[in-house]
């Protein structure tokens, strides 16, 4: 008799319970096993809540880092905002702190626009036009684009859709006959992943539109080198709008969980993207999600993740959970300080690292 569990954390107690229940199912039949599943889920939920609460308590008073201020509206966001949301396979949302206040999604949107292009045009579309390689440079580096041109040739797919040049190019690849049509697709994909209708934070959109000359330069350069086929101005504007979408920690947690569970939103049950395409998205997050600190992050957690200068980070433990934290103060690389620390603690407490070898015999 086969019993399948939604809960799959590899904590010692979880593994023991799984074995116990499997044996019980064999002896007593499906009825007994089925009635044990809620108990198992409740235990998993309790473990996760404990880990989330502990990290919240530990990092609540941490004062390191500073809000981004190169987009003036971001400097005005309350630096004390701190919310955690972990979402399990059965759509349970485990929270601590403020999970209602919205911040701008910023670069986390790059993941979902990349995912949308991959969903629409296949895994090769991004890999062949933009590339899936880490640049090792800052997220808005122009030298990285020039480096590719000098070493390999203009238009070579040697970057990725999570740094600005690749992200603006990915936005330009979303198909549609008007800016409005493309925008509806972009925001629609974000809505499906979050499980609710999201809106643009107009103050952030205006503030970034007024100050995004560097991204405009990148857009023009990407047209010149053939990554963007036409209308770089539209690509930069839509990119700026997608970065200004308002999200709270809960939204981001559900979006992370949609990627953790094969592209299916575990809260709404909607299949947002083809499960076979999700590993490609996660691979780019693993190599480039925290910019030039992606290697350090992966070393500490093993989790594909993505940060945004609004203060959010999402992280994915495939098949186990999606987690998000919102906390605006950033480190020098542009990643939320508290979010990095708290996700690391929570994931390690729950056995979230996909590279961690299961204990012998488990």
Q: Which of 334, 342, 350, 351 binds ligand DON (CB under 6 A)?
A: 334
Q: Does residue 107 touch ligand DON according to CB under 6 A?
A: yes
Give the three-state DSSP class for 88: strand
List residues bridging with 312 in a β-sheet: 326
Alpha-helical (H) ranges within the chain are 12-28, 30-59, 72-75, 108-121, 123-129, 143-151, 164-173, 179-194, 202-211, 213-224, 232-243, 249-260, 278-288, 294-301, 337-350
Q: Does residue 215 touch ligand DON according to CB under 6 A?
A: yes
Q: Does residue 164 touch ligand DON according to CB under 6 A?
A: yes
**What residues contact 283, with CB distance under 8 A and at least 6 apart?**
132, 304
Specify the stretch interacting with ligand DON by CB under 6 A; choose among 188-196, 256-264, 306-314, 348-356: 306-314
Which residue, 5 or 205, has its beta carbon nearer to ligand DON?
205
Q: Which of 246, 308, 311, 328 binds ligand DON (CB under 6 A)?
A: 308
Length of the chain: 362
Q: What angle do CA 252, 253, 259 make, to 5 degrees?
A: 90
Distance of CA 221 to the CA centre of its chain: 27
Q: How far is the CB of 329 from ligand DON (least distance, A)?
A: 13
Q: Which of 56, 82, 139, 225 binds ligand DON (CB under 6 A)?
A: 139
Distance of CA 181 to the CA centre of its chain: 24
Contact 84, 56 (CB under 8 A): yes
Specify the stretch interacting with ligand DON by CB under 6 A; choose among 147-155, 220-228, 280-288, 307-315: 307-315
Specify the stretch interacting with ligand DON by CB under 6 A; choose among 24-32, 76-84, 304-312, 351-359: 304-312
Q: Does residue 317 touch ligand DON according to CB under 6 A?
A: no
Distance of CA 27 to the CA centre of its chain: 42
Contact 318, 302 (CB under 8 A): no
Q: How far is the CB of 212 from ligand DON (least distance, A)?
A: 7
Q: Does residue 106 touch ligand DON according to CB under 6 A?
A: yes
Which residue, 169 or 307, has its beta carbon nearer to ligand DON?
307
Q: How far is the CB of 106 from ligand DON (least distance, A)?
A: 3
Q: How far is the CB of 116 from ligand DON (least distance, A)?
A: 17
Which residue, 107 or 265, has its beta carbon nearer to ligand DON?
107
Dihedral sign, Cα of residue 206, residue 120, residue 146, residue 110: positive
Q: Which of 33, 186, 285, 309 binds ligand DON (CB under 6 A)?
A: 309
Count residues contacting ligand DON (CB under 6 A)?
A: 12
Q: How far is the CB of 200 from ligand DON (least distance, A)?
A: 12
Residue 198 tokens read as 């999201």
Contact 127, 279 (CB under 8 A): no
In the numeric block, the tokens 């969903």 are attached to 119
| Residue nearest ligand DON, CB atom distance | 107
Q: If we measure between CA atoms, which residue out of 321, 279, 328 comes closest to residue 307? A: 328
Which residue, 230 or 332, has its beta carbon nearer to ligand DON?
332
Contact 305, 290 (CB under 8 A): yes
Q: Does residue 140 touch ligand DON according to CB under 6 A?
A: yes
Q: Does residue 243 touch ligand DON according to CB under 6 A?
A: yes
Residue 206 tokens read as 């205006």
Which residue, 254 or 309, has its beta carbon nearer to ligand DON?
309
In the numeric block, the tokens 């004390």 are attached to 80
Q: How far is the CB of 243 from ligand DON (least distance, A)?
A: 4
User: Where on the chain is the footprint of ligand DON (CB under 6 A)?
Assistant: 106-107, 139-140, 164, 208, 215, 243, 307-309, 334
């Amino acid at each position: 008799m086969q019993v399948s569990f939604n809960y799959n954390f590899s904590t010692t107690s979880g593994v023991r319970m799984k074995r116990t229940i499997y044996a019980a199912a064999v002896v007593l039949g499906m009825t007994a096993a089925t009635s044990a599943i809620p108990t198992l889920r409740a235990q998993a939920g309790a473990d996760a809540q404990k880990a989330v609460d502990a990290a919240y308590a530990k990092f609540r008073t941490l004062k390191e880092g500073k809000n981004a201020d190169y987009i003036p509206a971001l400097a005005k966001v309350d630096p004390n905002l701190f919310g955690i949301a972990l979402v399990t396979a059965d759509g349970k949302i485990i929270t601590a702190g403020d999970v209602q206040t919205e911040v701008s999604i910023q670069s986390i949107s790059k993941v979902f626009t990349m995912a949308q292009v991959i969903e629409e045009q296949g895994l090769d579309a991004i890999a062949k036009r933009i590339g899936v390689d880490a640049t090792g440079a800052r997220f808005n580096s122009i030298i990285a684009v020039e480096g590719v041109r000098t070493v390999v040739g203009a238009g070579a797919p040697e970057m990725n859709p999570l740094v600005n040049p690749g992200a603006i190019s990915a936005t330009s690849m979303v198909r549609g006959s008007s800016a409005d049509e493309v925008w509806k697709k972009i925001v629609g994909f974000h809505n499906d992943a979050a499980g609710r209708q999201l809106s643009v934070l107009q103050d952030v959109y205006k503030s970034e539109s007024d100050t995004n000359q560097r991204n405009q330069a990148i857009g023009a350069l990407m047209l010149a080198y053939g990554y963007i086929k036409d209308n770089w101005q539209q690509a930069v504007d839509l990119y700026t709008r997608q970065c200004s979408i308002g999200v709270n920690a809960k939204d981001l947690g559900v979006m992370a969980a949609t990627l953790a569970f094969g592209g299916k939103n575990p809260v709404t049950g909607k299949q947002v993207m083809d499960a076979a395409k999700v590993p490609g998205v996660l691979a780019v997050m693993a190599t480039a999600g925290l910019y030039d600190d992606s290697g350090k992050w992966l070393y500490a957690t093993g989790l594909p993740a993505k940060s945004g200068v609004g203060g959010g980070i999402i992280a994915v433990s495939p098949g186990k959970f999606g987690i998000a934290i919102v906390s605006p103060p950033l480190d020098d690389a542009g990643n939320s300080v508290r979010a990095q620390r708290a996700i690391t603690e929570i994931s390690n407490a729950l056995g979230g690292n996909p590279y961690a070898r299961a204990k012998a015999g488990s």
